[in-house]
Structures are given as C-alpha cells and as structure tokens.
Amino acid sequence: MDSERKTALITGASKGIGAAIAIQLAKDGFDILLNYRKSHEQARGVAAEVEAAGGSCHLLPFDVADAAEVEKQLAPFLDTPPFVLVNNAGFTADSLFGMMDDNSWRRVIDVHLNGFFNVTRTLLPRMLRKRKGRIVNISSTAGQTGNPGQANYSAAKAGLIGATRSLAVEVAKRNILVNAVAPGFIETDMLAGLPVEEIAKSIPLGRLGKADDVAHMVSFLCSDKAQYITGQTFSVNGGIFTA
C-alpha cells in the first residue's frame, strides 16, 4: 500500500453497512483493510468496488470474536497501523428473552462486544504511539431504546456506546478520536422477514435508511472536518428516536 495514503480497517465489510463504508472511505482517499468471516465472493465484489473508487483493498478473512486469530491476522499491519478503525462486525439472533438459548446470547455478545475489544486492543497501542487515529463503533438504535426479542443485540450495542465514551476519554490526549454511529432501520439483509412497509410508516422521514446514509456519517467522522468531536453517538435513524 502507498505509505502516503491513509488506511482504514473495517470489520464485517463484505456486505451491507460495512461494504458501503469501505467503498465510501475508498472514495475519500483511503486504502482499505476489509475484514469478513466467510462471505468470500461478496468480499471480492466489494474489493473490486473499492479499487474502482481509487483505493487498494486487502482482504482479511477472520472471526473478530477469536482473539488469537485477530492478533495473527493483524500482526503484519501493526508497524504502520491503520489511521481509521471501524468496528462494524455483527449479526442478530433474535428470540424472546425467556426462550433465548445460551449460544444466541453468547455469540451475539462475542461478535459485537468481544470483537470490538479484540480488534481495538490489538491496534490501539500502535495508534497511541503514532498519536493519531479515528475509531468508529457501529452501534444501533436498538442499543439506545431496546427492541423486543433483541435483548442480546440491544445489550451488545448499548455496551458499544458505553465503551465508546470511556475509550474516548482515555485516548483523547493522544489525538485519537472515538465515536459511535447508531443506525436505525437500514435496508440490509438484517431486515429480511420484517414488515418493512409497516416499519417505514413509524419513521418520521417515512422511509428506511440506506447503507450509504450510515457510510456518509462515518466518512465525516473520519475526515478533517471532525477534529473536535469525540465520545459522541450519532443517530442515523430518520427521526425514529431522538436522545
């Protein structure tokens, strides 16, 4: 990768919001480290779009919940750590709380919260030495309001907001800015099977969001225009929730 260009690592970026963020940051002038777990064909498609947008793209297939694998896969990039880290990896395993099995609870927490911990802890010491960087954690409106059937997901996303606030205070003096973005109902695979037309009626703007809506907020937070913003959570939800 061109040493004069900044690099961004986006986790869970083979589709949906993560893919949109990777492509947008490539348009902004970043080279991309694109993490995903197993969607190889989709990841290659995103890589092609990143390259068409002017960035280079290195594919990193690993599970963010596996601490040892995270350290192994990121080791080659630690001498020149990415300027931007976007913790986006996640999924849902919905169930009413009283019927939720152990795996559904633990796996969602592992990917969202432990994944954030594993990846950020690996990169942060090098970012601190460089005295610069941006960390953006993708939370959710569910982490701000709660959703029935999503106690695991809501807990994980609320945890990311708390971690964002604490980490921002810890690293501010080293010029590392840490913020969270909380998307509402966004047109991705995660809405499959839901009554989207009814959901849209409950949103003040009258429509679902697009992955690019979230990517544009992340783009701003990674830009020079956001140099005095840290420890904040930005809602991208069409007005369905206001803090």
Average model confidence (pLDDT) for the chain? Answer: 95
Residue 4 has pLDDT above 70, yes or no: no
Q: Which pLDDT score is estimated for 1?
A: 43
Q: Which pLDDT score is estimated for 241?
A: 86
**Kind and range of the H or E run holding 183:** strand 176-183
Compute the average pLDDT of residues 19-26.
Answer: 98
Spatial distance between the Cα atoms of 61 and 40, rounded to a whole number of angstroms: 8
Residue of 234, 199, 189, 228 lying closest to 214 (CA atoms): 234
Report helix, strand or coil for 151. helix
Q: Which pLDDT score is estimated for 2?
A: 43
Spatial distance between the Cα atoms of 240 and 119, rounded to a whole number of angstroms: 31
Spatial distance between the Cα atoms of 206 and 198, rounded to a whole number of angstroms: 10
59-105 pLDDT per residue, tens: 999 999 999 999 999 999 999 999 999 999 999 998 999 999 999 99
Compute the average pLDDT of residues 23-45.
Answer: 97
Residue of 176, 160, 166 lying closest to 126 (CA atoms): 176
Catalytic residues, by residue number, are 153
pLDDT band at 242 (very low <50, low <70, confident <90, very high): confident
Alpha carbons within 13 angstroms on the beta-carbon side of residue 124 total 18
Under 8 Å between Cβ of 51 and 32: no
Q: How far apart are the first and last CA of the chain?
A: 41
157-202 pLDDT per residue, tens: 999 999 999 999 999 999 999 999 999 999 988 777 777 788 899 9
Residue 49 has pLDDT above 90, yes or no: yes
Q: Which pLDDT score is estimated for 189?
A: 81
- Judged by phi (left if over 0) then psi (alpha if -120 to 50, else beta), residue 161 lies in alpha
Q: Which pLDDT score is estimated for 166?
A: 98
Spatial distance between the Cα atoms of 122 and 115, rounded to a whole number of angstroms: 11
Residue of 194, 204, 192, 92 lying closest to 151 (CA atoms): 92
Sign of CA dihedral 135, 140, 145, 147: negative
pTM equals: 0.95
**CATH code reported for the domain at 7-236:** 3.40.50.720
Query: C-alpha distances in angstroms, 236 versus 73, 174, 222?
Result: 31, 28, 16
For the chain, give every domain's residue range: 7-236
Q: Which pLDDT score is estimated for 194?
A: 74
100-146 pLDDT per residue, tens: 999 999 999 999 999 999 999 999 999 999 999 999 999 999 999 98
